[in-house]
Structure 1
Amino acid sequence: MIRIRSLAYPSPDDFGLKDLQRDIYNEMNNSEDLYQYDTIDQLLFEIKVREQIVRASFSLNSSGVVFSSFKKSRFNPDFWLWTSRGYRLRPGVLPSDAINDIFKNGRIYGFECSTAIVLVFYKALIHSINLRAFNYLFANLLVWDWNYDWDLGIITRPGKNFIPGDIVYFYNPDYREPIWMGENAVYLGKGRYYGHGIGVATEAEMINALNTRRRERPQRSAYLLDQYSRLNFKYLQQFS
């Protein structure tokens, strides 16, 4: 449920929301969880970022990026430097240019699903906050796995009341290879998820895909954890 201090009974018609933004608003307002804001701008910013997370997910899915372990990973050396902890932004390169290159030239990149999630967040923020602020906040990017700049403010909470733009985790307890221990995925809305290495799929399809990547004679099915992760939208809104 949505509550705004300055507006007793908000409606998507009050803000001119359409298409995906309207869907996000409705899922938030119909949720059992309370979404409380001091101002209308706080709500609209969160909806905008969530929309951009969903759009970035589809963009990455169609970019040609390969699913890869760190040992076999690859990044464009014009923008990124390999280190033992991940890929660091090359000196003199703007963070926004480096992130955009991944989505533009995906076929020369390879990484796993948690890296994909962090990159989706960065791409969404390029389109949601002031570009100069983005390049200042994320001037020292290091990406791989869950390495991310603290300014993202990622928050993880228990529950299954997912909103489009939330990150969920499909756990695969009887995995065959460590890289398939689970799948980080973006909830896209309407029962669909995006997970790098699997693609866009329903919950059942995600589970079935992970179940094909289990060891011999598995005892347990993959399943969706009762938790979600999301950005600290209220903190990031100051940079919009």
Structure 2
Amino acid sequence: MAISSPGDAEFEARVRGEIVAAARALDASGASFATFRNSRCNGRYWIRENNGGFRLRSGVTPAEGIRDIFRNGWQYAFECATAMVIVLYKGVLEAIGEPSFNNYFAGLVLYDWKYDSDLRIVTIGLNQTGLGDVVYFNNPDFDPRTPEWRGENAIVLPGGVYFAHGMGIVPAEAIIRSLNGKRKPGSGTSAYLINEAQTLDFAYIQRLRSIVARIGSRVYVYG
């Protein structure tokens, strides 16, 4: 993850900016919050599986599938971990381009924190976070009747706010206040921001930005 050249730093800044833009776009897309049991997707692009996850349909490119979520968000509903992965995919797509994205992220499945191995995510300390990273607000005394509120994943945005799927673009205090409203009756234990975060391995992602050529049924990758 170390930045070794000005070019590396420029690429990281671009990816972070694309992730921030994707978070804002998903918030504005009309996509709803839902548990896995109640998830839904656009059946033209995705197959909803029994566990509530979405599998990309045959004949649909990964770029088409991801972009449809932002274009037709009203047809989608999912929980917050899936939302974070969707935002990261969109940021990477815009940074490396469709040919490389379609080559490296074929056969996408959207489900919780499960993701393609080429979406290289690493854990860092909270004090190392930057724009576009994912943080987690833990709710240790969540009401067992609503386990989906055991915590909230959120994307770091400029201006001291976060994108938290189902809550919107809000400051940390609003996320904590919302989670505190979903605790066990009588609990006095507050939700809190944990001391670690998730970020992309930007150096690895940069290597995916290759020149991809398709000749007939064959795909050629350069760079």
Q: Taking structure 1 as the reference length, what is the TM-score of the superposition?
A: 0.83
Quote the Cα distance in structure 1 between the aligned partners of 2:17 and 2:65. 21
Give the aligned partner of residue 44 of structure 1: 10
Give the aligned partner of residue 222 of structure 1: 191
**2:110 alignment partner, one of 143, 148, 166:** 143
Give the aligned partner of residue 130 of structure 2: 163
Give the aligned partner of residue 88 of structure 1: 55
1:192 is displaced (CA, Å) by 0.8
Give the aligned partner of residue 76 of structure 2: 109
1:145 is displaced (CA, Å) by 0.6
- Which secondary structure state, in structure 1, belongs to the residue aligned with residue 20 of structure 2? helix
1:132 aligns with 2:99: yes
The one-letter code of the counterpart of 1:89 is L
Q: Taking structure 2 as the reference length, what is the TM-score of the superposition?
A: 0.89
Aligned length: 206
Quote the Cα distance in structure 2 between the aligned partners of 1:75 and 1:50. 26
1:79 aligns with 2:12: no
Unaligned runs of 5+ in 2: 210-223
The one-letter code of the counterpart of 1:135 is N
Quote the Cα distance in structure 2 between the aligned partners of 1:149 and 1:129. 15
Give the aligned partner of residue 198 of structure 1: 167
Give the aligned partner of residue 90 of structure 2: 123
Equivalent residues of 2:16, 2:132 under 8 A apart: yes
Unaligned runs of 5+ in 1: 1-34
Quote the Cα distance in structure 2 between the aligned partners of 1:136 and 1:169. 31
1:174 is displaced (CA, Å) by 1.2
Give the aligned partner of residue 25 of structure 2: 59
1:156 is displaced (CA, Å) by 0.9
Give the aligned partner of residue 211 of structure 1: 180
- Which secondary structure state, in structure 2, belongs to the residue aligned with residue 225 of structure 1? strand
Give the aligned partner of residue 152 of structure 2: 183
The one-letter code of the counterpart of 1:231 is L
- Which secondary structure state, in structure 2, belongs to the residue aligned with residue 155 of structure 1? strand
The one-letter code of the counterpart of 1:84 is N
| Structure 1 segments of 4+ aligned residues over 6 angstroms from their partners | none
Quote the Cα distance in structure 1 between the aligned partners of 2:126 and 2:38. 35
1:147 is displaced (CA, Å) by 1.2
